[in-house]
């Protein structure tokens, strides 16, 4: 009886000391996409702003302190409309001084004409007085013009797109006060990086899409800047919309797409490309959900990813992310 109890106790002790079976391995979830054939060329998209084809920066022709601004952003103006004024006091004094000098020079010239008619002075003296009078008259006319320049008027019909100065501000001659978008054709202004500027030329077709409404317009490149912007190091490009522009409003955000020539193949996201030595590869998910590393040839890189010309066939399931954490033959749970 004692021996039977001892054997039973020994069996229980051995069972207690044995390790429990390991838990089943759960395959990791991986993001998978199905490769599809891309067009022979890619699409480059850029965001831009609807602008007027012709824009003018308006400013005073003389310097001074702004005392009045009569229009705001979005105001529709007509030619000759007063937009702003600067303090005219100093220019009025200058005009008064120049007019006084003109009157004095005219009186001198009149006296010398009388003296010359009686042969009391030489012709050279009269010529000097006549020249002085003409110079004083021109100076007086210039001062009157400058007095009129204290009022800034619109020279064309359009819309005030931007206000660049406020009342109380002292501005220099020629400094921008308003940006006027002239009435007429509208277009989209975009900025293109230097790696893409060689693909664009005036007349190239484009597709313009309004972000607000999704409405699409057929456009064409009108202008490509020959020099990059000093701050952004991108090239300003203007895309004209020659057809019906109903729905286009100044200041709207728009996307512009260009069809570009490129290599044919399958387009994959950059996160799907696995660096393998000097080459590239992708993880292919088999029918039994196991992984296989397959070498590929990357033909080009674009905004939408990499174009693979060899190694992947349409319909292959490719791991789209986390490629550096996987191993060959590993079981996975594909997640589209």
Q: What is the pLDDT of residues 244-265, one digit of tens each?
A: 777 888 888 998 988 654 455 6
Statement to judge: residues 208 and 255 lie in one domain: yes
Are 302 and 254 members of one domain? no
107 lies in some domain:
yes
Domain at 286, CATH number? 2.40.420.20
The answer to whether position 318 is within a domain reads: yes
Domain closes at, from 220, 240, 261: 261
* Side-chain-side CA neighbours of residue 323 (13 Å): 23
pLDDT of residue 274: 84
Q: How far is CA 17 from the centre of its chain?
A: 72
Of the candidates 165, 250, 259, 184, the residue with the CA atom closest to the CA atom of residue 221: 259
Listed residues 128, 163, 178: the one ending a domain: 178
Tell me the C-alpha distance between 56 and 72, whole Å. 16
Same domain as 288, residue 196: no
Query: Residue ranges of the chain with pLDDT lower than 50?
Result: 1, 37-40, 261-262
Together in a domain, 145 and 198: no
266-302 pLDDT tens trace:
778 888 888 877 788 898 998 888 989 889 888 777 6
Which structural domain range is residue 211 located in? Answer: 44-53+184-261
What's the distance, CA 59 to chain centroid? 24
pLDDT tens, position by position, 132-142: 999 999 999 98
> CA nearest 156: which of 249, 51, 50, 58?
58
Of 178, 194, 218, the last residue of a domain is 178
Q: H or E segment at 145?
A: helix 123-148
Which residue reads 């260009």 in tokens? 258
Q: Could you tell me if 269 and 331 lie in one domain?
A: yes
* Residue 133 and residue 62 share a domain: yes
- The count of domains in the chain is 3
DSSP one-letter code for 270: G
User: Does 141 map to a domain?
Assistant: yes
Is 89 inside a domain boundary? yes
304 and 322 share one domain: yes
Q: Provide the pLDDT for residue 21.
A: 64
Q: 73 and 153 share a domain?
A: yes
């Amino acid at each position: 009886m004692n021996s039977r109890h001892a054997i039973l106790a020994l069996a229980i002790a051995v069972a207690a000391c044995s390790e429990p079976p390991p838990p089943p391995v759960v395959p990791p979830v991986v993001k998978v996409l199905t490769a599809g054939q891309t067009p022979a060329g890619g699409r480059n998209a850029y965001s831009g702003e609807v602008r007027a084809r012709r824009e003018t920066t308006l400013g005073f022709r003389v310097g001074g302190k702004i005392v009045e601004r009569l229009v705001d952003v979005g105001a529709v103006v007509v030619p000759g409309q007063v937009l702003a004024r600067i303090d005219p006091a100093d220019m009025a004094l200058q005009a008064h001084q120049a007019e006084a000098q003109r009157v004095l020079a005219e009186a001198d010239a009149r006296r010398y004409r009388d003296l010359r008619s009686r042969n009391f002075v030489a012709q050279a003296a009269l010529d000097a007085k006549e020249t002085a009078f003409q110079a004083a008259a021109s100076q007086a006319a210039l001062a009157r013009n400058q007095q009129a320049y204290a009022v800034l008027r619109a020279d064309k019909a359009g819309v005030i797109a931007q206000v660049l100065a406020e009342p109380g501000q002292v501005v220099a001659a020629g400094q921008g006060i308003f940006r006027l978008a002239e009435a007429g054709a509208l277009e989209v202004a975009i900025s293109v990086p230097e790696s893409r500027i060689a693909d664009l030329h005036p007349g190239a077709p484009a597709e313009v899409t309004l972000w607000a409404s999704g409405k699409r317009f057929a456009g064409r490149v009108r202008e490509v800047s020959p020099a990059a912007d000093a701050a952004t190091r991108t090239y300003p490009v203007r895309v004209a919309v020659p057809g019906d522009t109903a729905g286009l409003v100044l200041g709207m955000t728009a996307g512009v797409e260009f069809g570009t020539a490129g290599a044919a193949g399958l387009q994959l996201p950059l996160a799907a490309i696995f660096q393998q030595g000097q080459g590239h590869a992708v993880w292919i998910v088999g029918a039994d959900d196991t992984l296989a590393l397959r070498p590929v040839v990357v033909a080009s890189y674009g905004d939408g990813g990499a174009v693979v010309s060899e190694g992947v066939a349409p319909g292959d399931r490719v791991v789209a992310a986390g490629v550096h954490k996987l191993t060959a033959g590993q079981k996975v749970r594909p997640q589209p």
